[in-house]
């Protein structure tokens, strides 16, 4: 195992509205304090009772998916917690991922694309 799933992140135009929508469906706590994330008008979380965390990220000019229209595909990314960011990077690149954004060296995360182009982040636990 290289990583553990920390949360699933959905792009949306209104982070609070979507977090409350999912809270109504799944229960849980909206914007529970958590040292892994900074909460603001561009980022909201839902900690469900099952332990699953959904996060909501504001996307300027959000274009919702039109399933199953491939011109407007589903939009999400995975945040994966790792102990050693450099080691995990080497491992995911060997598996076929591509580095999209290495950051400036001060961030605790890096952004990659899976072999099909879907973005995901490795975050230092």
Higher local confidence (pLDDT), 73 or 17: 17
Instruction: Tell me the C-alpha distance between 37 and 19, whole Å.
Output: 15
What's residue 77's pLDDT? Answer: 87
Instruction: Tell me the C-alpha distance between 28 and 31, whole Å.
Output: 10
What's residue 92's pLDDT? Answer: 96
**What single string gives the DSSP state of each residue in 50-116?**
TS-EEEEEE-TT-----TT-TTS---EEEEEEES-HHHHHHHHHHTT-EEEE-TTSSSSEEEEE-TT
**What single string gives the DSSP state of each residue in 98-116?**
EEEE-TTSSSSEEEEE-TT
- Domains of the chain, by residue range, sit at 4-124
Strand 76-82 vs strand 53-58: parallel, antiparallel, or unpaired?
unpaired
Sheet bearing 4-12, strands edge to edge: 29-30, 43-47, 53-58, 4-12, 76-82, 119-124, 109-113, 98-101
**Model pTM?**
0.79
What digits encode the pLDDT tens for the residues 78-117? 899 999 999 999 999 999 999 999 988 888 999 999 988 8
User: Class for domain 4-124, per CATH?
Assistant: alpha beta
What digits encode the pLDDT tens for the residues 48-85? 998 999 999 999 998 888 888 988 887 788 899 999 99
């Amino acid at each position: 195992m290289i990583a553990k799933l920390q949360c699933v992140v959905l792009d949306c135009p209104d982070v609070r509205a979507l977090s409350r929508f999912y809270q109504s469906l799944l229960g849980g706590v909206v914007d529970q304090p958590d040292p892994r994330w900074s909460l603001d008008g561009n980022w909201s979380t839902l900690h469900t009772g099952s332990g699953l965390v959904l996060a909501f990220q504001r996307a300027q000019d959000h274009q919702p998916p039109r399933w199953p229209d491939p011109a407007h595909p589903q939009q999400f990314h995975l945040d994966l917690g790792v102990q050693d960011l450099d080691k995990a990077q080497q491992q995911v690149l060997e598996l076929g991922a591509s580095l999209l954004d290495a950051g400036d060296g001060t961030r605790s995360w890096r952004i990659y694309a899976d072999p099909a182009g879907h973005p995901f982040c490795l975050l230092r636990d």
